[in-house]
Amino acid sequence: MSRTIIVSNRLPTKVLRTEESLTFQASEGGLATGLGSIYRQEGNVWVGWPGLFVEDANEEAYVREQLRDDSMVPVFLTEPEIRDFYEGFSNSTLWPTFHYFSQYATYEQSHWEAYVAVNEKFCQAVLALAGLEDTIWVHDYQLLLLPAMLRQARPEATIGFFLHIPFPSYELIRVLPWRKELLEGMLGADLLGFHTFGYMRHFLSAVSQLLGFSSQNGQIETGARTVLVDAFPMGIDYERYVQAAASEAAVQHEAVYREALREVRVILSIDRLDYSKGIAQRLRAFELLIQRYPEWREQVSLIMVVVPSRDQVAQYAALKEEIDELVGRINAQYRTITWTPIHYFYRSFPLEELASLYRLAEVALVTPMRDGMNLVAKEFVASKADGRGVLILSERAGAARELSDALIINPTDTGQLAEAMHDALVMPEDEQQLRMGAMQALVRQYNVFAWAKLFMARLAYSKMKQHTLATE
Ligand code: GDG
């Protein structure tokens, strides 16, 4: 039987070390939540790092066995590998470059070498597992070299690749010392997927300018092979969020929060800690709102959840400090005995509590500087059963291409953002329902299952086409 082997840097489960034992916990992040619902079907397997440094061969065997029962195969990485491959090349070179923060990028040869070595390690893990009939689906920027490595070992393999972050303009890609190798690595796939046509166009342009390969209708001719490129906007497990929001637990949490907040209306913001998410700019915009419209003081609070992430990378630690300071200053300046302007949480919440926050909020602020897609925007939409609520969405999130009924803003324009918050707070209910209803129909239909199905169908088609061409 042919299976799908999903490969990503992280497994959808992370293994944590407590004093006496190891515990297994679902990981956060868009990829884990999105694909988590589908990989268990039809004997599929997920290959990735379990988030733990194992101490010895016994522990390694134990983790491997525990994960096997849940269709996962771990790739064990060492501390120097995580430092140089993950925190180094992935998160200090590729992530800033691909999110248009080149000024934060570092270019270390040793990080590059670790990146090559870890991609090779993943390649060996997949080859040990994959049968000739299996489909291999590689995910994201940590594994850009893997498609070509797999292709070299298995010229006939069916390989898909999906990039979850933006693909930037050629002008950013050309800065990277290893730009050609990275593009060649990706071109080992049969099908390359991006969230939007914009990212796809940037990729085609980079391939043409750096490698000289032309393309037509999303087909790149490399000389040896044809590679298909297309846009597949990722969706969410819609029903899961509908159900979570309707659950007894979510309703109860909401009631408790509501009582504590009394009549105060809620604007919500949820992200991983990341400079690409525009968190500091959002805080400044909220301050501007209560400066320009003092009537909202004591009437509106911002609930801001920031999920700890990558705090070993210098910029993330600095951002955390900036956010702490901004929240402290704004709260100290405007708070009253009975009102807190910003309720700030630096931790993650269980799904039901997250759902209760989506229920509670009248306005969601999703205002990244750059974001491949942004699933929080879609989850908020799915959670609003009564159709009320307003989404404020950055034009530079992939989701803005689909959710055009949100209030679309430029996240660097603090004034525009403050006005959008005001507009959202005074928006008539029928307009809210009209906009929300249109977005719900779209998010419900193009859910994560539709996304995966479309990608897989297109991958099968690309393979069939190549086969036909080869036998003609
Ligand atoms: C990358 C791209 C792209 C957040 N806080 C909690 C929590 N979350 C969950 C959300 C959502 C996920 O984490 C975050 O997904 P995003 O899409 O917003 O962002 P990234 O993690 O940066 O993901 C992004 C995505 O990949 C998929 O392609 O959309 O552009 O950057 O699902 O709900 N979950 C729980 N508690 C929290 O406190 N349980």
Give the bridge partners for 14, in sequence order: 25
Identify the pLDDT of residue 10.
93
Identify the pLDDT of residue 463.
82
Ligand 1 atom 28, closest CA: 164
Between helices 375-383 and 351-360, what is the axis angle to 10°?
70
29 pLDDT band, cuts 50/70/90, is: low
**pLDDT tens per residue across span 205-262:** 999 999 999 999 999 999 889 999 999 999 999 999 999 999 999 999 999 999 999 9
Question: What is the value of ipTM here, to two decimals?
Answer: 0.98
Over residues 287-316, mean pLDDT: 94
149-188 in b/e burial notation, b at 16+ Cβ within 10 A? bbbeebeebbbbbbbbbbbbebebbeebebbeebbbbbbb
State yes or no: pLDDT of 469 exceeds 70: no
State yes or no: pLDDT of 96 exceeds 80: yes
Mutate to test the pocket of ligand 1, among 8, 10, 28, 165 (most ligand atoms within 8 A of CB): 28
**pLDDT tens per residue across span 184-207:** 999 999 999 999 999 999 999 999
Identify the pLDDT of residue 1.
65
Is 0.90 surpassed by the pTM of this model? Answer: yes
Q: Is the CB of 349 under 6 A from ligand 1?
A: yes
Calculate what percentage of the chain has a pLDDT beyond 70: 97
How far apart CA 265 and CA 261 sit, in angstroms, is 8
311 pLDDT band, cuts 50/70/90, is: confident
State yes or no: pLDDT of 31 exceeds 70: no
Over residues 355-368, mean pLDDT: 98
State yes or no: pLDDT of 408 exceeds 70: yes
Residue pair 388/429 in contact by the 8 Å Cβ criterion: yes
Identify the pLDDT of residue 472.
65
458 pLDDT band, cuts 50/70/90, is: very high
How far apart CA 339 and CA 256 sit, in angstroms, is 17
Ligand 1 nearest-atom number relative to CA 28: 13
Residue pair 159/146 in contact by the 8 Å Cβ criterion: no
Ligand 1 nearest-atom number relative to CA 162: 28
Mean pLDDT of the chain: 94
Ligand 1 atom 25, closest CA: 30
Q: In what order do the strands lie in the sheet with 342-345?
A: 342-345, 300-307, 265-272, 363-366, 390-394, 407-409
State yes or no: pLDDT of 335 exceeds 70: yes
Q: Is the CB of 379 under 6 A from ligand 1?
A: yes
The residues assigned a catalytic role are: 164, 371
Identify the pLDDT of residue 309.
86
Radius of gyration of the chain (CA): 23
Among 30-39, 291-300, 372-381, which stretch is predicted with the lowest mean pLDDT?
30-39
Over residues 375-396, mean pLDDT: 97
How far apart CA 305 and CA 284 sit, in angstroms, is 16
Mutate to test the pocket of ligand 1, among 268, 273, 369, 376 (most ligand atoms within 8 A of CB): 376
How close is the Cα of 216 to the center of ligand 1, in Å? 34
How far apart CA 204 and CA 243 sit, in angstroms, is 40
372-384 in b/e burial notation, b at 16+ Cβ within 10 A? bbbbbbbbbbbbb
Sequence-distant (6+) residues with CB within 8 A of 337 are none
Identify the pLDDT of residue 2.
77
Residue pair 101/318 in contact by the 8 Å Cβ criterion: no
What is the total residue count of the chain?
Answer: 472
Between helices 414-426 and 279-292, what is the axis angle to 10°?
60
How far apart CA 451 and CA 375 sit, in angstroms, is 13
How close is the Cα of 28 to the center of ligand 1, in Å? 7
For the chain, the three-class secondary structure string (H helix, E strand, C coil) is CCCEEEEEEECCEEEEECCCCEEEEECCCHHHHHHHCCCCHHHCEEEEECCCCCCCHHHHHHHHHHHHCCCEEECCCCHHHHHHHHHHHHHHHHHHHHCCCHHHCCCCHHHHHHHHHHHHHHHHHHHCCCCCCCEEEEECHHHCCHHHHHHHHCCCCEEEEECCCCCCCHHHHCCCCCHHHHHHHHCCCCEEEECCHHHHHHHHHHHHHHHCCCEECCEEECCCCEEEEEECCCCCCHHHHHHHHHCHHHHHHHHHHHHHHCCCEEEEEEEECCHHHCHHHHHHHHHHHHHHCHHHCCCEEEEEEEECCCCCCHHHHHHHHHHHHHHHHHHHHHCECCECCEEEECCCCCHHHHHHHHHHCCEEEECCCCECCCHHHHHHHHHCCCCCCEEEEECCEHHHHCCCCCEEECCCCHHHHHHHHHHHHHCCHHHHHHHHHHHHHHHHHCCHHHHHHHHHHHHHHHHHHHHHHHHC
What would the two tokens of residue 182 be? Answer: 């990275």
Residue with tokens 């307003």: 390
How far apart CA 346 and CA 104 sit, in angstroms, is 23
State yes or no: pLDDT of 38 exceeds 90: no
